[in-house]
Structure 1
């Protein structure tokens, strides 16, 4: 529907997030994929998860 598309476009810039496990992802991106704001503790936890699970860590949050 045209009205919905116009509404989405006028909402302003969308946050830049990489998606898909086929690309490099950093711990901060993984925290954001989980719907949370990055804090030092969350980023460290995400770094460990990426080391342990690799691409599967990203797939946990993406359909």
Structure 2
């Protein structure tokens, strides 16, 4: 199968990467850098100062798991 194959084991092509051995590995939402403003918006909240503070506390407390809860 190649990257044009729409789904491999339930993982869409757009969410796969290939390691040095040519194996496909799934990416997750937490694979990229997230800010508190990004998290607030991803959760469907306006990025107000209050929501950004709450999101920052969640990022500080949970780390990448805060993202995984929202953007699997």
The number of equivalent residue pairs is 45
Aligned residue in 2 for 1:14? none
CA distance in 1, matches of 2:35, 2:45: 15
Shift of 1:38: 0.6
CA distance in 1, matches of 2:71, 2:35: 15
More helix by share: 1
Higher RCO structure (Cα 8 Å, ≥6 apart): 1
Q: What root-mean-square deviation, in Å, do the aligned CA atoms of Structure 1 and Structure 2 show?
A: 1.3
- Partner SS, residue 39 of structure 2: helix
Which consecutive residues of structure 2, in runs of 5 or more, have no partner in the other structure?
1-27
2:54 pairs with 11, 33, 45, which one? 45
CA distance in 2, matches of 1:44, 1:36: 12
More strand by share: 2
- Structure-2-length-normalised TM-score: 0.58
